Every structure is written in C-alpha cells, then in structure tokens.
C-alpha cells in the first residue's frame, strides 16, 4: 500500500485551511485534461497517485500557452512513460468542484491510444507507478472522481454537464 504524502498526512483542519487559501488565491477553476488511454489490444492505462495512493487516469493541468493536445501527450510521457499513438476524441468535460481536493478543476477527458511499453513515471513523488489493466481487472473505484468519466468513455455514454 502506498504511503500518504506529507500533505495528506496533515490534520484534516490544516488541509481544509490550505484548500481555502488555494481557492482564494486561484479564484478561477483550473483547466486539466485526462486520458482514457488504451493499448491496441484494449488494456487501460492507470497511474497510482503519490498523494492519495489511489489509481486514476493519467493527466494534468494545462500550462500557460500550451494546447490541450500537447498537454495530454506530455502528461502521458511524464506520468507513465508511454507514447501516444493517437489522441481524441473528447469523451466528456467534468467540472464537479469536489472531484479534486486541491482546487476546482474543469477536466476534459479524451480517448487515447498508447504504446504497450510502460516505462513508468518521471516523478515518483507525484505518481508512484503506472500499469496497464485488462477491462475486467480495473479497480471498482478510481481516485480524483475518475470512475464516472472512465465508465462513460468505455461505454460510449455521453457525459452530462455537471
């Protein structure tokens, strides 16, 4: 089992205070992108987060001046060490404020086809490991509110605005 990060091990009231500070500093939602990344044989790429220890879809926040298409290619390389063979289409945009405890994120979810060679994360503090799962092996619940977006993408169900 992954050890919790320093931030996650803080008393609950301190993490609540940090959340409020970030909310007032940012004052706007953060734009992110995550990939429902699959290999040609249908396995799904997940990453185990360093902060919560939970499995989630690979992705991250958009950097200033960066295109979403470039961001997801970068995040797949940084978090899992995989190369994107194809990116798109968009499967949904999710904005529920409680999905990410750090800030209010608006996340664009896209399909991606990736190589089956997983070289692992570049930053082991952020991402502990990356792994391919056959559909029947997928964890029942994913971190960061990714369970519903993954289910929607895999079933072709259109996302509903939240």
Which residue from 63, 54, 67 is spatially nearest to 128, judged by alpha carbons? 54
| Residues ≥6 apart with Cβ < 8 Å to 131 | 45, 46, 47, 48, 118
What is the average pLDDT across 40-47?
98
Strands of the chain (E only): list them: 30-38, 44-49, 55-56, 59-61, 84-94, 105-114, 127-133
Determine the pLDDT at residue 10: 55
Question: Domain 12-155, what fold?
Answer: Nucleoside Triphosphate Pyrophosphohydrolase (3.90.79)
Whether omega before 131 lies within 30 degrees of 0, making that bond cis, reads no
CA dihedral over 134, 137, 143, 148, signed as positive or negative: positive
pTM: 0.81
Please state, in angstroms and rounded to a whole number, the distance separating the CA atoms of residues 152 and 24.
32
Q: Tens digit of pLDDT for each residue in 11-23? A: 656 666 766 676 6
Q: Tens digit of pLDDT for each residue in 122-153? A: 999 999 999 999 999 999 999 999 999 999 99
Reply yes or no on whether the pLDDT at 120 is more than 90.
Answer: yes
What is the average pLDDT across 44-61?
96
């Amino acid at each position: 089992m992954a050890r919790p990060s320093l931030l996650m091990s803080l008393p609950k009231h301190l993490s609540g205070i940090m959340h409020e500070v970030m909310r007032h500093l940012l004052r706007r939602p953060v734009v992110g992108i995550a990939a429902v990344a699959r290999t040609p044989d249908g396995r799904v790429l997940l990453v185990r987060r360093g902060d919560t220890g939970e499995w989630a879809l690979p992705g991250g926040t958009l950097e200033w001046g960066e295109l979403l298409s470039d961001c997801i290619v970068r995040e797949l390389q940084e978090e899992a060490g995989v190369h994107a063979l194809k990116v798109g289409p968009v499967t949904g945009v999710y904005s529920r404020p409680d999905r990410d405890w750090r800030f209010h994120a608006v996340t664009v979810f896209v399909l991606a086809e990736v190589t089956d060679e997983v070289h692992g994360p570049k930053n082991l503090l952020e991402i502990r490991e990356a792994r391919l799962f056959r559909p029947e092996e997928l964890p029942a619940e994913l971190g960061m509110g990714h369970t519903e977006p993954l289910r929607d993408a895999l079933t072709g169900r259109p996302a509903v605005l939240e």
